[in-house]
Amino acid sequence: LAEATCVPSFWLGNETLKVPVALFALNRRRLCDRLRQNKDVQKNSVVLLQGGEETQRYCTDTGIVFRQESYFHWTFGVTEAGCFGAVDVDTGRSMLFVPLLPESYAVWMGNSLHDVTFKYLYLAHDHGHFNSFPFQRGVNTDSGSISKEASFEGITVRFNSRRILLHRVIKTDMELEVLRYTNKISSEAHKEVMDPLLLIIFALSVTVVLRKRVAWPDMHRLADRVHLEELTKIGILKGNVDDMVKVHLGAVFMPHGLGHLLGIDVHDVGGYPEGVERIDLPGLRSLRTARNLEQGMVLTIEPGIYFINHLLDQALRDPAQSCFINNDVLQRFRGFGGVRIEDDIAVTASGMELLTCVPRTVEEIEAFMAEGQGSAKSFGSLSSQKE
């Protein structure tokens, strides 16, 4: 953590982004504001979260690189392991509970942070110590995985982690700045590894105009239709596209979902809150969210075309689907594998902001490869990609 001009921030130095700790203080305020509006949340309620714990590789004493538990990171921004955090919903005051470390810790790992330093670096109102804290486990409804929900004897209201994760769906301006930075870094890395000897251009694309309140499953259906139209143009498919849609032929070539929410986690949480049901149809059931788009959401858009033998063989055995397939042309693509094109976008008030800055069209890719990997050409600055 860097202490720049009395404003604490997380910084790894050398041209990396300084992330203000105020980002997490704002998240806590947003959380409390929303919970105070919830009639089911009683007065004098406290949100109690448990941070991640350091672990070893199987039965060895070799430590695995620590990554903070995502809900805890979103709320407090704490990078150290073994902590608890509490937020008073009524007042917004926060408290960090830091583990008591033995004196031997300083011998092998260096001095631990002082209590006051913890308060300053993470903008907490208070701090404390603990020796142990009981907790209960809960299920993340998006992933199906078990997440820890901190708890203690005598608590009268237990906060379901889903109430917290929903706040992670809508990004603040500071969070969007972090996502712009990470997209810039990953885009530059992508361009570095583009190899003209290995590059295969499969000219299928989906142009999607995103607006608030658009249902994400409708975007998936649009991608399916565009794929079917293009596959028909190059002769792999034949017949009426509307009829192909009715028998879910698109899912044969794009069995995955069009995209997912993006944030602290790659497949970020909040895709299926209460009242949003998964659509049990081919392709659509693979969507990681079926929500209507809202300003502040960040999602991936990753249409793909795959030639998977298992799915192709199934379709050829199904008369309802095989009648649309030109098997002679299809054979040329057996063993090809597939191609998926990914862009990351933020939903804005008027449309969307494109966060990814890599060549994506055939013309841009060819121009980039011709100029060489060392080219400084930019495919749209972050500030110019809003639509």
312 and 271 Cβ atoms separated by less than 8 Å: no
pLDDT digits (tens, 9 = 90+) for 185-199: 999 988 887 764 344
pLDDT digits (tens, 9 = 90+) for 255-301: 999 999 999 999 998 898 888 999 999 999 999 999 999 999 999 99
At residue 246 the predicted structure's pLDDT band, cuts being 50, 70 and 90, is very high
Helices 22-36 and 173-192 meet at what angle, rounded to 10? Answer: 130
Given a cut of 70, whether residue 368 has pLDDT beyond it is yes
Q: Which residues, 6+ apart, have CB-to-CB distance to 280 below 8 Å?
A: none
Burial of 8 per CB tally in 10 Å (0-12, 13-18, 19+): buried
287 and 278 Cβ atoms separated by less than 8 Å: yes
Provide, rounded to the nearest whole percent, the portion of the chain with pLDDT above 90.
Answer: 49
List the one residue out of 85, 87, 88 whose CA is nearest residue 99. Answer: 85
pLDDT digits (tens, 9 = 90+) for 73-120: 999 999 999 888 888 889 999 988 888 888 888 888 777 766 656 666
211 and 387 Cβ atoms separated by less than 8 Å: no
Please tell me the predicted confidence (pLDDT) of residue 315. Answer: 98
Distance, CA of 308 to CA of 339 (rounded, Å): 12
Please tell me the predicted confidence (pLDDT) of residue 6. Answer: 61
28 and 86 Cβ atoms separated by less than 8 Å: no
Task: Look at phi and psi of residue 310 and say left if phi exceeds 0, alpha if psi is from -120 to 50, else beta.
Answer: alpha
Of 4 and 156, the structure prediction assigns the larger pLDDT to 156
Given a cut of 80, whether residue 204 has pLDDT beyond it is no
Please tell me the predicted confidence (pLDDT) of residue 114. Answer: 62
Given a cut of 70, whether residue 36 has pLDDT beyond it is yes
Q: Which residues, 6+ apart, have CB-to-CB distance to 124 below 8 Å?
A: 76, 85, 94, 95, 96, 118
Mean residue pLDDT across the chain: 82
What Å distances lie between residue 40 and 152, 154, 224, 250, 330, CA to CA?
20, 18, 41, 43, 57
What are 354's strand-pairing partners? 345
305 and 338 Cβ atoms separated by less than 8 Å: yes
pLDDT digits (tens, 9 = 90+) for 374-385: 444 444 434 444
Distance, CA of 251 to CA of 241 (rounded, Å): 13
pTM assigned to the model: 0.84
Of 64 and 369, the structure prediction assigns the larger pLDDT to 64
